[in-house]
Amino acid sequence: MTEKETGPIGSSSSETANRKILELVDEAKVRRIPFFVRKHALSKTFEKIEHEHPELYAVAAQEGPLPDEARSQLGAIVNAIFDQKLKKHSL
């Protein structure tokens, strides 16, 4: 997804971590979020992960690729959050 479609990648402390986390989400799920609330939805998701899973967020904030274990854990977390939000709002 381009920055034009998603807006700046979150307001959390690490743009690197936010970008890596966004890569774990299926692009089709992100596109189902209306464009006028997409930036807000993404930034709040990143903030939620940063506060609820600080150790995984710190790993994602480091330079270089995500380790496989962190990738699978973060992928499961972020996709569960998106599935929950999409179901809640009937998207």
Residue numbers of the domain that contains 77: 3-88
**Run of H or E residues at 90:** none
pLDDT at 91: 72
pLDDT at 89: 83
Q: What string of pLDDT tens digits covers the 91 residues of the chain?
A: 555 554 455 555 788 999 999 999 999 999 999 999 999 999 999 999 999 999 999 999 999 999 999 999 999 999 999 999 889 888 7
pLDDT at 3: 54
Spatial neighbors of 65 by CB under 8 A, at least 6 apart, are: none
Return d(Cα 89, Cα 91) in angstroms, integer: 6
| Total number of domains constituting the chain | 1
